[in-house]
Amino acid sequence: MNSLLKEKYGALPVVEAMIFSSENPLSIEKISSILEISKEEVEEIIKLLMQEYNFNNMKGIEIVEIGGGYFFRTKIPYAPFIRKIVMGKESDLSKSAMETLAIIAYKQPITRAEIEHIRGVDSSNPIRSLLEKKLIKIMGRKDVPGRPHVYGTTKEFLKAFGLKDLNELPNLKEIKDMIEQPQLKLLGEDYENKDSENNS
């Protein structure tokens, strides 16, 4: 093994530890300056780590890049189990509640009328359910006729989805996959989304 490779693999565990521990997504520049190794080397190491985690079905966590920063996150299909740690039996969310929650997460602060405009259906049930589960809260009122409530997500929402802050939200494609996948194949069983619009 040449000395470049030796150095590269030598820094891999510390890069992993840094990305794991950082409060905020960590940039290649910052890692490079702290470890005093080249940006190219850091980039190469992060690629190796992403191969190891992201494309390996036996890994439950992955490294994600947002705005030039890297961080570890639970893989999307496992999110329902993370919610159960935080919320217990309260964690089951209907498809309509998940959809409403995703819209609120990305568009907050948002009114019920705006949510219903996007979804195309009455959303008072999922909003009430999300309020009860403390995943959303009333953030104030919008300065339009009728002064309707505006909704936003809570700290409990971040905890329940294993996020440090809203910047770590999955992108819309991932959210769509999560809502639309009819069942999660895990543990050799099929975990179906059994809730319907009615019991949301």
**Cβ 75 to its own copies shortest distance, Å:** 6
List the one residue from 2, 55, 58, 67 that touches its own copies (CB under 8 A).
58
Cα separation, 182 vs 192, whole angstroms: 7
Q: Does position 154 bind its own copies by CB under 8 A?
A: no
Q: Is residue 75 a contact residue for its own copies (CB under 8 A)?
A: yes
Shortest spacing between CB 175 and its own copies, in angstroms: 18
Per CB under 8 A, the segment of 20-28, 115-123, 137-145, 165-173 that binds its own copies is 20-28
- Which residue among 72, 101, 126, 170 contacts its own copies (CB under 8 A)? 72
86 binds its own copies (CB under 8 A): yes
**Burial (Cβ within 10 Å: 0-12, 13-18, ≥19) of residue 180:** exposed
| Residue type for position 125 | N
Name the one range near its own copies by CB under 8 A: 117-125, 142-150, 165-173, 183-191.
Answer: 183-191
H or E element at residue 111 = strand 110-111
Interface with its own copies in residues 114-143 (CB under 8 A): none
Between residues 69 and 126, which has the closer beta carbon with respect to its own copies?
Answer: 69
Distance in angstroms (rounded) separating the CA atoms of residues 169 and 176: 12
Is residue 186 within the footprint of its own copies (CB under 8 A)? yes
Q: Which amino acid type is present at position 137? A: K
CA 159 to chain centre: 10
> Is the distance from CB of 158 to CB of 169 less than 8 angstroms?
no
- Altogether, the residues listed in the chain come to a count of 200
Structure tokens at 134: 């403390």
β-strand pairing of 183-186 with 189-192: antiparallel
Applying CB under 8 A, which part among 58-66, 97-105, 110-118, 140-148 lies near its own copies?
58-66
Both tokens of 37, joined, read 């190794």
When asked if residue 2 is in the footprint of its own copies (CB under 8 A), the reply is no
Residues that bind its own copies (CB under 8 A): 3, 6-7, 9-18, 20-23, 26, 30, 34-35, 37, 57-61, 72, 74-75, 78, 81-82, 84-86, 159, 162, 186-188
